[in-house]
Amino acid sequence: MRIHTRQAPVLVAVLLHICLSTSLDPALFPRAQNITWRSSNFKTVLTWGPEPTAEYSYTVEFSQVGRDRQRNLHCIQTSQTKCDLTNDLRDLLVCYTADIISEPPTGTTNDLQEYPHASSPRFCPYNDSKLLSPSFKLEVSPDERKTTVHVTDPLTAAFQDGRQLSIRDVFRDELEYKVTYWKNKSTGKKVATSSSNLVEVPGLDRGQSYCFQVQAKVRSRPTSSQLGEFSQTQCTNQRDPSLLDQYSVGVIAAAVLLPLLLVGGLIALIVICCRRRSEKRSSVKEKEAEALNV
């Protein structure tokens, strides 16, 4: 078959494309798998697998949804299976995606113009970044009937104008704290919430030890990501309860008055018995005197 000279360049291009396509060996450049966003208080790391061999490496490209892709300088032709994108995802209110490209390692070349890649799920920092546990202090009122929980806003990995932001700076009025508390060594739990950093827990029993845990909560988030991690548990000190803690004033008064009433009643009974005996003796003596006179 004779090929026309005008068709030759087209044929060469087709053959070259077929050649390059068939040389894309999946075993030589396997696609990334299990791509996961791991983010806590806006420190965000993209992870994936498997570990690359000496024959290939990974390059990470990321972008806001609908915008051009960018590259992190530390995640180009890398042998790592993670990429810290904290400083790249500065706008916390938008959503991002990432592509992980499998390509030759640094210092090697290949004739391919396009390498295998795999896409990440969508990641929205404001809604998806995990909220870490806050720290707090307990203040017990003098009458021990109320405990105030003083919560400290956790810092995040986000910065604005050189200042490190707290979760309060990011979520503002959407942030509240949920306090779970219970009587020490008891299974029954109660909840108190506050939109401020002070959470008051009233109606407690005097002399009893209570335990507390705190979580951050963002009301505008989806239900699955509203609550943050539980804090460590802190408990108030327990003391030996006084009589007033254990019993009411009426019970204590009754306990004091009852013995007095019993003693008083016994004394009155003895006095009455003595009087009757004395009167009986006097009556007998009078009768004996009358008999002698007769």
Are 142 and 219 part of one and the same domain?
yes
What is the per-residue pLDDT for 19? Answer: 44
Is the distance from CB of 89 to CB of 97 less than 8 angstroms?
A: no
Q: Which of 74, 91, 126 is the last residue of a domain?
A: 126
Residue 15 lies in a domain: no
Q: Give the number of residues written for the chain.
A: 294
Are 48 and 69 part of one and the same domain?
yes
> At residue 203, what is the residue type?
G
Is the distance from CB of 217 to CB of 193 less than 8 angstroms?
A: yes
Are 77 and 141 part of one and the same domain?
no
Is the distance from CB of 216 to CB of 230 less than 8 angstroms?
A: no
- pLDDT band, residue 258 (cuts 50/70/90): confident
Q: In this structure, what CATH number is given to the domain that contains residue 229? A: 2.60.40.10
Exposed, middle or buried: residue 218 (CB in 10 Å: 0-12, 13-18, 19+)? Answer: buried
pLDDT at 7 exceeding the cut of 50: yes
Closest of 33, 34, 84 to residue 62, by C-alpha: 84
Are 60 and 37 part of one and the same domain?
yes
Are 60 and 117 part of one and the same domain?
yes
How does pLDDT run across 226-255, given as a tens digit for each residue? 999 999 999 999 765 555 545 555 666 666
CA distance 42 to 229: 14
The total number of structural domains in the chain stands at 2
Are 78 and 145 part of one and the same domain?
no
Closest of 93, 119, 34, 103 to residue 220, by C-alpha: 93
Q: Which of 238, 254, 288 is the last residue of a domain?
A: 238
Is the distance from CB of 158 to CB of 92 less than 8 angstroms?
A: yes
pLDDT at 207 exceeding the cut of 70: yes
What is the per-residue pLDDT for 24? Answer: 46
| Phi-psi category of residue 251: left, alpha or beta, with phi > 0 → left and psi -120 to 50 → alpha | alpha
Domain residue limits at 82: 27-126
- pLDDT band, residue 30 (cuts 50/70/90): very high
- pLDDT band, residue 150 (cuts 50/70/90): very high
Are 150 and 115 part of one and the same domain?
no
β-pair partners for 117: 101
Q: Which of 69, 103, 126 is the last residue of a domain?
A: 126
What is the per-residue pLDDT for 14? Answer: 43
What is the per-residue pLDDT for 264? Answer: 74
Exposed, middle or buried: residue 291 (CB in 10 Å: 0-12, 13-18, 19+)? Answer: exposed
pLDDT at 146 exceeding the cut of 80: yes
DSSP symbols for 31-77 = PPEEEEEEEETTEEEEEEE----TT-EEEEEEEETTS--EE-GGGSS
- pLDDT band, residue 268 (cuts 50/70/90): confident
> At residue 49, what is the residue type?
G
What is the per-residue pLDDT for 241? Answer: 54
Q: pTM here?
A: 0.71
